């Protein structure tokens, strides 16, 4: 059996699953000390099902804790950055576009050194070990041991980053080093930003993951535990301590993965209706489609794989303005159960309209019996129109696709969605996110530019697939279960040569799970 | 003369993306370069042509190569300065200032870096009033201003100087040399005297970009309609509102080509639009009839935010507005029109200015 836990900003959800069956589920408020909330959720699902903790094979945890740390500027470790690429890149040093308050906290300790590669794998300049050693001495003298290392086109060739890490470790034995090539894609500043954030979160990650472990120990759960990543795959506890940034935006991902699992569909649109917003995402081969553009975290641009979601200001708590008719984006949010008409409040919300329309029996339905029937119909139509437009925006073609509706605000979906082949509201929809965590696999990726002068296209694709598979196996996947789930090729424009960027994603089942 | 500060640069970058008509490279890296240089060296002096002496030599600065490379191999900075100075040296004259060759995209803003570092004037004009993919596609070519002498430098310190028999030859040689520089080279070209520029250059394009950026920003703050604000700022026409129903892309000869189809919404309900692009948006047809073509400018904006959408970012389902606006009048003279005529890009159609097509609407 597996337990999936999703620690959100408001609620901590947990589910106990036996194979593909949901045995029990719970929702508890998130606590300031994340581990306490997790312990409570664990206790609830275990007590609820009455199982023996020895039958638990794994605990999968999804958390927004590390994203929040960056957004709130809390628990961040001062971090140095070494960038290899001289003489290129000088005019835009590391952290150049960070909000100043965050840069102050992280320390702005940045160094440039020779090295780096061209898009086609040639060296920009020779690597100079002594130069890196001198920089390491300076970082040591500054009392820092958290370090991020980036190198130009390291997604094409990461050897200079690796060599630098070795030298830094020889100078600072307890160095905590993140290589940009381990995290990000093409786009030096964004990839480097992610690497720096990763290093500055590692101390917090170690404490947090140890806290999770302690919570499990307390409940005498001896099984291994895993943390969910934003691509819908898992990392083990040690890996999570190393790569906390990979948890960013894992919440929406888990929701989508849970929706895929609950509906049995691998290609669909997922509509996650909350209290204030509705997030729409796309499942491709059972995984969330990845955003193509830069995503800002706490004011810092990053470009590592994030789920491509589109949010609209529509939820169960959205306010309704009657003339002219307007639904959202303002919302009563978590105060729904005090302010909505059906809960004795004096604010007209979407939930009131759905109750008045007879779609749902929540709170005191007599409080809305006097609502104008025309208004009710108009609001319901507007809600469906808003969802339909957002769904359509996320589709890749006009072909109708299935739409899976999850989240606490699912009651808002009362009719047909234009462009949907079917609408599925699976069981257990309020805890789809925890289910997404529980069922996750492990994965690996490759994102590189290949010069097709030396390689045939097929050879390049094979290399990329091999690299992605190797990474999945390194992350804990059983080799025989590894599958390539996504391949994308983008030829480079404005160039007469034949260079192409290939992105491959592989996933497999956890060893022994 | 007026001074450009950090906040001006933000607006110019946004406006440059509109004038980039879908191409020209994301101004982000250029914006950061300009901003950092202004932080370090102080505000840049922006001059109109009238404020300079007729004999002053102006040398435009730019970058060339693959936009995806510049976000990875960030410029050294020195490479831009080196190309600029090499050109002055070869010409035997000290340039008085610099300017943009291309008002749209990344290259609109990169010269601000040179102006800030060398503390020389930036001139409020350019050679296209928009973005185009090839070096010879400028008004200057039509007016006999030569792209050569041409200087290109990389971060290593290599400087290539070219003296060619035509502007098209600069494009041919530079495009293959830039690959050896790692698909990114900083260039200086089209040096001209203020007297020549007064005749050939497109005036006020930096200020125009800034006004567009400011307009969008204000419209967002005031919750006004940003699409309408952009349309008004550029003196253009709303061609279409609709949703993208299909995007077809292909790479041809190193260029990113393709087309997008859209279905009309609101007042355009029931109408269909086809947009053709090659790095930039080149032509739009509404219900099969051409509605606007190069050299007029075609911008695709997010229907809600007014944010310009690049050709790479066009995707099924997006709700967009398409606006078109007149190119600089110089483009409509016979010699210039040849360089950017719809036929040069493979459309068998006469060029009809967008305001003539939309007269009376």
Find all residues with CB under 8 Å of B153, minimum gap 6, and list them: B79, B80, B82, B83, B86, B159, B160, B185, B186, B187
Output the 3-class SS for chain B: CEEECHHHHHHHHHHHHHHCCCCCCCCHHHHHHHHHHHHHHCCEEEECHHHCCCCCEECCEEEEECHHHHCCCCCCCHHHHHHHHHHHHHHCCCCCEECECCCCCHHHCHHHHHHHHHCCCEECEECCCCCCCCCCCCHHHHCCCCCCCEEEECCCCCEEEECCCCHHHHHHHHHHHHHHCCCEEEEECCCEEHHHHHHHCEECHHHHHHHHHHHHHHHHHCCCCHHHHHHHHHCCEEEEEEEEEEEEEEEECCEEEEEEEEEECHHHCCCEEEEEEECEEEEEEECCEEEEECCCEEEEEECCCCCECCHHHCCCCCEEEEEEECCCHHHHCHHHHHHHCHHHHCCCCCCCCHHHHCCCC
A312-351 burial, b for 16+ CB within 10 Å, e for fewer? bebbbbbbbeeeeeebbeebbbeebeebbbbbebebbbbb
For residue B67, the chain A residues in CB contact (below 8 A) are: 493-494
- What fold, for B225-357? CV3147-like (2.40.390)
Q: What's the CA angle centered on A101, arms A96 and A105, to 5 degrees? A: 90
Is residue A161 over pLDDT 60? yes
| CA A411 – CA A363 distance, rounded (Å) | 14
The domain B2-205 having CATH identifier 3.40.1610.10: the answer here is: yes
Q: DSSP character for A277?
A: -
Q: How many Å lie between the alpha carbon of B211 and the closest alpha carbon of chain A?
A: 24
pLDDT, tens digit (0-9, with 9 covering 90-100), for A358-376 = 878 888 888 898 889 999 9
The answer to whether the Cβ–Cβ distance between A392 and B155 falls below 8 Å is no
B279 in A contact zone (CB under 8 Å): yes
| CA A62 – CA A431 distance, rounded (Å) | 12
The answer to whether the Cβ–Cβ distance between A91 and B75 falls below 8 Å is yes
CA dihedral A323, A326, A329, A332 (to 10 degrees): 60
Q: CA nearest B246 in A: which residue?
A: A397
pLDDT at A452: 76
pLDDT, tens digit (0-9, with 9 covering 90-100), for A345-356 = 999 999 999 999
Is residue B361 over pLDDT 60? no
pLDDT at A194: 95
Mean pLDDT for the stretch of residues B40-66: 96
pLDDT, tens digit (0-9, with 9 covering 90-100), for B126-165 = 999 999 989 999 999 999 999 999 999 999 999 999 999 9
Mean pLDDT for the stretch of residues B10-32: 92
Q: What is the mean pLDDT of chain A?
A: 89
For residue B176, the chain A residues in CB contact (below 8 A) are: 496
Mean pLDDT for the stretch of residues A482-499: 71
CA dihedral A355, A361, A363, A369 (to 10 degrees): 40
Of B72, B156, B176, the CB nearest to A186: B72
pLDDT, tens digit (0-9, with 9 covering 90-100), for A271-302 = 998 878 898 999 988 888 877 677 888 889 98
- Nearest CA among B135, B332, B322, B105 for reference residue B205: B105
Q: CA nearest A119 in B: which residue?
A: B182
Which residues partner with A227 through β-bridges? A61, A235
pLDDT band of A430, cuts 50, 70, 90: confident
Q: Are A497 and B182 in contact, with CB atoms under 8 Å apart?
A: no
Query: Across the A/B interface, how many CB contacts are shorter than 8 Å?
Result: 130
pLDDT at A151: 98
Residues of chain B with CATH 2.40.390.10: 225-357
Please name the helix (run of DSSP H) or strand (run of DSSP E) that holds residue A23, with its range, or none: strand A21-29
A90 in B contact zone (CB under 8 Å): yes
Is residue B169 over pLDDT 60? yes
Mean pLDDT for the stretch of residues B182-211: 96
- Nearest CA among B352, B240, B238 for reference residue B296: B352
pLDDT at A115: 97
pLDDT band of A331, cuts 50, 70, 90: confident
- Nearest CA among A180, A200, A182 for reference residue A190: A180
For residue B72, the chain A residues in CB contact (below 8 A) are: 119, 152-153, 186-188
Q: How many Å lie between the alpha carbon of A186 and the closest alpha carbon of chain B?
A: 6
- β A58-63/A225-228 pair status: parallel
For residue B156, the chain A residues in CB contact (below 8 A) are: 87, 124-125
CA contacts within 13 A on the Cβ side of B139:
28
pLDDT, tens digit (0-9, with 9 covering 90-100), for B318-350 = 889 999 999 999 999 999 999 999 999 999 999
A500 in B contact zone (CB under 8 Å): no
pLDDT at A510: 79
Q: CA nearest B39 in A: which residue?
A: A96
Q: Are A10 and A3 in contact, with CB atoms under 8 Å apart?
A: no
Number of H helices, E strands in chain A: 13, 23
Mean pLDDT for the stretch of residues A204-225: 91
The answer to whether the Cβ–Cβ distance between A493 and B66 falls below 8 Å is yes
Q: What's the CA angle centered on A246, arms A243 and A248, to 5 degrees? A: 130
pLDDT at B253: 66
CB interface of A with B, residues 256-295, below 8 Å: 292-293
pLDDT, tens digit (0-9, with 9 covering 90-100), for A372-411 = 999 999 999 999 999 998 998 888 777 899 999 998 788 8
A305 in B contact zone (CB under 8 Å): no
pLDDT, tens digit (0-9, with 9 covering 90-100), for A34-48 = 788 888 999 999 988
CB interface of B with A, residues 39-78, below 8 Å: 65-69, 71-78
The answer to whether the Cβ–Cβ distance between B183 and A97 falls below 8 Å is no
Interface test with A, best of B249, B266, B317, B318 (most A CBs within 10 A): B317
For residue A89, the chain B residues in CB contact (below 8 A) are: 73-76, 155
The answer to whether the Cβ–Cβ distance between A496 and B253 falls below 8 Å is yes
The answer to whether the Cβ–Cβ distance between B155 and A501 falls below 8 Å is no
Of A89, A186, A491, the CB nearest to B74: A89
Rounded to whole angstroms, what are the CA distances from A99 to A71, A73, A89, A150, B145? 11, 11, 20, 20, 44
pLDDT exceeding 70 applies to what percent of chain A?
Answer: 97
For residue B77, the chain A residues in CB contact (below 8 A) are: 90-91
The answer to whether the Cβ–Cβ distance between A91 and B183 falls below 8 Å is no
Mean pLDDT for the stretch of residues A103-118: 95
pLDDT, tens digit (0-9, with 9 covering 90-100), for B87-124 = 999 999 999 999 999 999 999 999 999 999 999 999 99
Is residue A491 over pLDDT 70? no
Mean pLDDT for the stretch of residues A234-246: 90
B245 in A contact zone (CB under 8 Å): yes
Tokens 């140890």 belong to which residue?
A210
Is residue B2 over pLDDT 90? yes
- Nearest CA among A133, A155, A154, A136 for reference residue A145: A136
Mean pLDDT for the stretch of residues A137-143: 97
**What's the helix, strand, coil split of chain A in %, to 5?**
40, 30, 35
Interface test with B, best of A495, A497, A499, A503 (most B CBs within 10 A): A495
| CA A266 – CA A260 distance, rounded (Å) | 6
- Nearest CA among B279, B217, B215 for reference residue B250: B279
pLDDT band of A492, cuts 50, 70, 90: low
Q: How many Å lie between the alpha carbon of B69 and the closest alpha carbon of chain A?
A: 7
Residues of chain B with CATH 3.40.1610.10: 2-205
Q: Are B203 and B151 in contact, with CB atoms under 8 Å apart?
A: no
ipTM: 0.90
- Nearest CA among A125, A391, A461, A396 for reference residue A404: A391
pLDDT at B54: 98
The answer to whether the Cβ–Cβ distance between A122 and B182 falls below 8 Å is yes
| CA B240 – CA B269 distance, rounded (Å) | 10
pLDDT exceeding 90 applies to what percent of chain A?
Answer: 49
Q: How many Å lie between the alpha carbon of B245 and the closest alpha carbon of chain A?
A: 7
The answer to whether the Cβ–Cβ distance between B71 and A392 falls below 8 Å is no
Interface test with B, best of A90, A150, A492, A493 (most B CBs within 10 A): A493
The answer to whether the Cβ–Cβ distance between A96 and B179 falls below 8 Å is no
pLDDT, tens digit (0-9, with 9 covering 90-100), for B267-284 = 999 999 999 998 899 999
**Cβ neighbour number for residue A70 with a 10 Å cutoff:** 24
| CA A130 – CA A85 distance, rounded (Å) | 15
pLDDT band of B203, cuts 50, 70, 90: very high
The answer to whether the Cβ–Cβ distance between B155 and A119 falls below 8 Å is no
The answer to whether the Cβ–Cβ distance between A496 and B319 falls below 8 Å is no
Q: What's the CA angle centered on B197, arms B195 and B199, to 5 degrees? A: 80
Output the 3-class SS for A87-134: CCCCCCCCCCCCCHHHHHHHCCEEEEEECCECCCCCECCCCCHHHHHH
Is residue B51 over pLDDT 70? yes
Find all residues with CB under 8 Å of B151, minimum gap 6, and list them: B82, B83, B84, B86, B87, B90, B159, B160, B161, B162, B187, B188, B189
Mean pLDDT for the stretch of residues B250-276: 87
pLDDT band of B196, cuts 50, 70, 90: very high
A400 in B contact zone (CB under 8 Å): no
Q: CA nearest A293 in B: which residue?
A: B313
Is residue A437 over pLDDT 70? yes
pTM of this structure: 0.86
Of B32, B71, B245, the CB nearest to A398: B245
More confident residue, A331 or A145: A145
A392 in B contact zone (CB under 8 Å): yes
Q: What's the CA angle centered on A93, arms B123 and B154, to 5 degrees? A: 60
Of A90, A186, A394, the CB nearest to B76: A90
Q: What is the mean pLDDT of chain B?
A: 93
Tokens 């009809």 belong to which residue?
B352
Is residue B198 over pLDDT 80? yes
| CA A442 – CA A511 distance, rounded (Å) | 9
């Amino acid at each position: 059996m597996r337990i999936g836990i999703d620690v959100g900003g408001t609620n901590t959800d947990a589910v106990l699953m036996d194979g593909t069956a949901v045995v029990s589920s719970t929702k508890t408020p998130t606590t300031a000390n994340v581990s306490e909330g997790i312990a409570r959720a664990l206790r609830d699902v275990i007590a609820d099902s009455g199982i023996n903790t020895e039958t638990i094979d794994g605990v999968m945890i999804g958390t927004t804790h590390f994203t929040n740390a960056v957004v709130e500027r809390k628990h961040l470790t001062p971090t140095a950055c070494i960038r290899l690429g001289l003489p290129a890149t000088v005019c835009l040093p590391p952290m150049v576009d960070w909000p100043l308050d965050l840069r102050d906290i992280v320390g702005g300790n940045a160094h440039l050194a020779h090295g780096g590669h061209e898009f086609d794998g040639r060296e920009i300049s020779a690597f100079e070990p002594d130069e890196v050693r001198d920089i390491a001495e300076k970082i040591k003298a500054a009392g820092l041991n958290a370090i991020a290392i980036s190198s130009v086109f390291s997604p094409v060739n990461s050897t200079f980053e690796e060599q630098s890490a070795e030298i830094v470790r020889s100078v600072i034995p307890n160095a905590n080093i993140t290589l940009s090539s381990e995290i990000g894609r093409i786009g030096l500043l964004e990839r480097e930003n992610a690497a720096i954030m990763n290093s500055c979160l590692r101390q917090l990650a170690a404490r947090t993951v140890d806290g999770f472990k302690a919570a499990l120990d307390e409940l005498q759960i001896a099984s291994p535990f895993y943390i969910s990543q934003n691509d819908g795959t898992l990392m083990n506890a040690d890996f999570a301590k190393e790569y906390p940034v990979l948890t960013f935006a894992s919440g929406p991902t888990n929701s989508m993965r849970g929706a895929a699992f609950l509906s049995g569909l691998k290609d669909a649109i997922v509509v996650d209706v909350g209290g204030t917003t509705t997030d729409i995402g796309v499942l491709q081969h059972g995984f969330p489609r990845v955003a193509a553009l830069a995503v800002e975290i706490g004011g810092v641009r990053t470009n590592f794989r994030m789920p491509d979601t589109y949010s609209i200001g529509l939820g169960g708590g959205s306010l309704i303005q009657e003339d002219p008719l307007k639904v959202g984006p303002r919302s009563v949010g978590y105060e729904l159960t005090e302010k909505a008409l059906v809960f004795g409040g004096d604010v007209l919300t979407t939930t009131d309209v759905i109750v008045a329309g007879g779609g749902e029996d929540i709170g005191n339905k007599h409080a809305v019996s006097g609502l104008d029937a025309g208004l009710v119909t108009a609001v319901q139509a507007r809600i469906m129109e808003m969802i339909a437009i957002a769904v359509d925006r996320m589709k890749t073609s006009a072909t109708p696709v299935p739409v899976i509706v999850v989240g606490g605000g699912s009651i808002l979906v009362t009719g047909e969605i234009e462009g949907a082949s079917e609408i599925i509201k699976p069981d257990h929809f309020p805890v789809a996110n925890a289910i997404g965590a529980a069922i996750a696999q492990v994965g690996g990726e490759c994102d590189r530019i290949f010069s097709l002068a030396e390689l045939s296209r097929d050879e390049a694709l094979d290399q990329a697939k091999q690299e992605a598979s190797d990474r999945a196996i390194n992350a804990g996947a059983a080799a025989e279960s590894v599958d390539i789930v996504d391949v994308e090729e983008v030829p480079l424009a404005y160039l007469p040569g034949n260079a192409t960027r290939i992105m491959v994603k592989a996933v497999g089942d956890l060893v022994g799970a | 003369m007026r001074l450009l500060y950090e906040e001006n640069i933000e607006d110019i970058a946004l406006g440059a993306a509109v004038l980039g008509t879908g191409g020209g490279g994301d101004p982000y890296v250029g914006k950061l370069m300009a901003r950092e240089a202004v932080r370090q060296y102080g505000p840049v002096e922006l001059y109109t042509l009238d404020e300079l002496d007729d004999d002053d030599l102006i040398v435009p600065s730019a970058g060339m190569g693959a936009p995806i490379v510049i976000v990875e191999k960030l410029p050294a900075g020195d490479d831009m300065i080196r190309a600029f100075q090499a050109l002055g040296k070869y010409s035997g004259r000290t340039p008085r200032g610099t300017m943009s060759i291309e008002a749209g995209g990344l290259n609109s803003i990169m010269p601000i870096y040179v102006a800030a570092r060398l503390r020389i004037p930036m001139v409020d004009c350019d050679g296209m009033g928009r973005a185009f993919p090839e070096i010879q596609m400028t008004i200057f070519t039509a007016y006999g201003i030569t792209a050569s002498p041409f200087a290109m430098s990389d971060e290593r310190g290599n400087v290539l100087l070219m003296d060619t028999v035509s502007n098209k030859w600069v494009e041919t040689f530079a495009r293959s040399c830039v690959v050896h520089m790692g698909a990114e080279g900083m260039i200086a070209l089209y040096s001209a005297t203020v007297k020549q520029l007064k005749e050939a250059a497109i005036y006020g394009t930096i200020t125009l970009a800034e006004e567009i950026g400011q307009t969008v920003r204000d419209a967002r703050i005031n919750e006004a309609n940003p699409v309408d604000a952009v349309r008004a700022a550029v003196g253009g026409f709303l061609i279409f509102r609709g949703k993208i129903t299909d995007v077809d892309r292909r790479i041809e000869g190193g260029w990113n080509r393709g087309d997008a189809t859209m279905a009309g919404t609101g007042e355009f309900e029931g109408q269909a639009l086809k947009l053709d692009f090659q790095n930039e948006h080149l032509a739009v047809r509404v219900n099969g009839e051409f509605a606007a073509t190069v050299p007029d400018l075609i911008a695709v904006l997010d229907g809600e935010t007014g944010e310009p959408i690049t050709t790479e970012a066009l995707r099924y389902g997006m709700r967009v507005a398409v606006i078109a606006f007149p190119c600089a009048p110089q483009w409509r003279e016979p010699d210039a029109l040849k360089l950017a005529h719809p036929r040069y890009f493979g459309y068998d159609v006469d060029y009809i200015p967008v305001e003539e097509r939309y007269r009376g609407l």
